[in-house]
Amino acid sequence: MDQFAALKAFVIVGEEGSFVKAGAVLGVATSSVTRQVNNLEEHLGVKLLHRSTRSVTLTDVGEKYLADVSRVLEDLDQANRSVMDTGTGPRGLLRVSAPLEFARVHIAPFLKEFGDLYPDLELELDLSNRVINLAEERIDVAIRVGQIESMSLIARRLAGHRRILCASEGYFKQYGIPEQPQDLKRHNCISFVSKAGGRNWHFERDGERYTVKVKGNMRANNSEILRQSALLGGGLILAPDWLVGCDVTCGQLKQVLADWEVTTNTKNGDVSAVYLPHHRGSQKINAFVDFLKAKYEPTPYWLKNVQGCDLLSSSE
């Protein structure tokens, strides 16, 4: 038995709760993972996992063993990286997942610079608004906007994130300015389509809470389409500051109900980089995350890189 391989297989099965997912992470057949864990249990003479047709869970002994083995493997990985990284920079393939529009505005402008800094890194981007399973799709690091639901992921905050309720001056001249959340019931609110809904907008201020079911003549699953419509006077939008903050600062859009925190069915949260626990300490992941974090720290990060709104020189 290759004990190191068996221990690694057990840790990933325990973290993922699935032999299939562990096989995907390790890049081996499910049967191979099953055999390694079975051999490990036979070698130790204890049962580490409860198996059923629907789930795989840790036994009490397995839970303690997982914690101990995880620390050992992390120490070993760190020792290996310390030796391998001596005199070298990050290298190899880095697979990154990110929301399409966020990546277009706040990642794409930096890719040339990142590539120049780390010429031995090959970057592969998977751009989609869906929340993917990092293990199943072999993603090293994902950029997430909003609250992180999974407790099994390591999350590093990159920047803040909040939603802005806004429309063009032309729209407000024609239809008036809402002064309280209930006023939105008589406005054309163009909203984002998602599985969680999106037509219930939640308002909170000093303990007051309101939910308004908005209506409008258009919905879309692309935030840039909504932004363009709002710029042309198409209606009110509830959009992230990283997308419309610059438009509001430039005066192309006007924010309303600014003293309220506004959300949809999902909380505002932050912009975060997330990755699996066994990738902790990865040099290539740290290089990418540290690079983005440095880019988002000075000034409001959304004040840069939005086409048609050059306020950078006046803000520095």
Q: Span 214-228, mean pLDDT? A: 90
pLDDT value at 89 more than 80: no
**In the prediction, which pLDDT does 314 show?**
40
Work out the percent of the chain whose per-residue pLDDT is above 90. Answer: 41
Which sequence spans correspond to the domains of the chain? 3-84, 92-159+269-299+309-315, 163-263
Q: Which of 51-60, 177-186, 193-202 is the least confident region?
A: 193-202
> Exposure string (b/e) for 261-291, b if CB count within 10 Å is 16 or more?
ebbbebebbbbbbbbbebbeebbbbbbbbee
Q: Span 280-307, mean pLDDT? A: 82
Q: Span 135-144, mean pLDDT? A: 87
Q: Span 39-68, mean pLDDT? A: 89
Q: Span 250-257, mean pLDDT? A: 93
Total Cβ atoms within 10 A of residue 122: 13
Q: Per-residue pLDDT tens for 3-25?
A: 888 888 899 988 888 888 888 88
Helix (H, G, I), strand (E, B) or coil at 182: helix
Q: Per-residue pLDDT tens for 92-105?
A: 889 999 999 999 98
Distance CA(17)–CA(273), nearest Å, equals 23
The matching CATH number, chosen from 3.40.30.10, 3.40.50.1980, 3.30.70.270, 3.40.190.10, for 92-159+269-299+309-315 is 3.40.190.10
pLDDT value at 278 more than 70: yes
CATH fold of 163-263 reads D-Maltodextrin-Binding Protein; domain 2 (3.40.190)
Does domain 3-84 match CATH 1.10.260.40? no
**In the prediction, which pLDDT does 186 show?**
92
User: pTM of the predicted model, to two decimals?
Assistant: 0.67
Average pLDDT for the chain: 85
Q: Is 214 left (phi over 0), alpha (psi -120 to 50) or beta?
A: beta
pLDDT value at 166 more than 60: yes
Domains 92-159+269-299+309-315 and 163-263 share a fold: yes
The CA distances from residue 154 to 27, 90, 250, 276, in Å, are 21, 20, 36, 6
Of residues 81 and 251, the one with the higher pLDDT is 251
